Amino acid sequence: MARLLAAFLMVLGVAAAAPLLAQEEQSTAPYAYRQLDDPAKEEKAQALMESLRCLQCQGQSIADSDAPIAGSMRSLVRERIEAGEDPEAIRSWLIERYGDYVSYAPRITGLTWPLFAVPVALLLLAFLLLRRRFGGNPEQGGGA
């Protein structure tokens, strides 16, 4: 029990020491933690931020992440939306720099088209096979 307590205290100690090690400043970017005044624009920005990956904590979107770089990215998104830029243009700007990885919205490219084509092809194949097995009268079934 005493050991368990000691371990627990150690964990607490480490947790308390961690902020001392990480002194990264939150960015001075204005819109990291501030919403846009126009609710319609903020909604647009929010939708885009939810589909962009935080580059540091890579399982999270920049809308969810508290990492400073995510704050910088949120501010980038909000400032550009405020300036009237199209959300997809902002996404492309980021993809130009970080590759497809930064976006959670899949794109159809030379590499990814089979992901979209295969399900359609399988459904079509299943439909044809099932029609041959169960479809209509024998003459039709033989012909298919």
Partner 1 sequence: MTETNAAKPRRWVIWLPLVLFLGFVVLVMFGLFRPADRNVASQLVGKPMPQFSLPPALPGRPGLDSKLLTNGKPHLVNIFASWCVPCRVEAPQLEALAKAGVPIEGISVRDTTEALQGFLEENGDPYQRIGADDDGQVQLALGSSGVPETYVIDGKGKIVYQHIGEIRPEQLGLIMNKLQEASE
Q: How far is the CB of 6 from partner 1 (least distance, A)?
A: 27
Pick the binder of partner 1 from 19, 84, 99, 142 (CB under 8 A).
99
CB 31 within 8 A of CB 79: yes
SS (H, E, C) 55-105: CCCCCCECCCCCCHHHHHHHHHHHHHHHCCCCHHHHHHHHHHHHCHHHECC
Which residue do the tokens 């704050």 mark?
71
Q: Among residues 24 and 85, whose Cβ is nearest to partner 1?
A: 24
Q: Are 82 and 90 in contact (CB under 8 A)?
A: no
For the bound state, the minimum distance from the C-beta of residue 140 to partner 1, rounded and expressed in Å, comes to: 19
Q: By CB under 8 A, tell whether 63 contacts partner 1.
A: no
Verify binding: residue 24, partner 1, rule CB under 8 A.
Answer: yes
- Side chain identity at residue 30, one-letter code: P
Identified binder of partner 1 from the candidate list 58, 92, 112, 140, rule CB under 8 A: 58
**Minimum gap (Å) between residue 120 Cβ and partner 1:** 19
Q: CB-wise, 97 or 133, nearer to partner 1?
A: 97
Contact 73, 54 (CB under 8 A): yes
Q: Is 106 in the site for partner 1 (CB under 8 A)?
A: no
98 touches 55 (CB < 8 A): yes
Residue 50 in contact with partner 1, rule: CB under 8 A: no
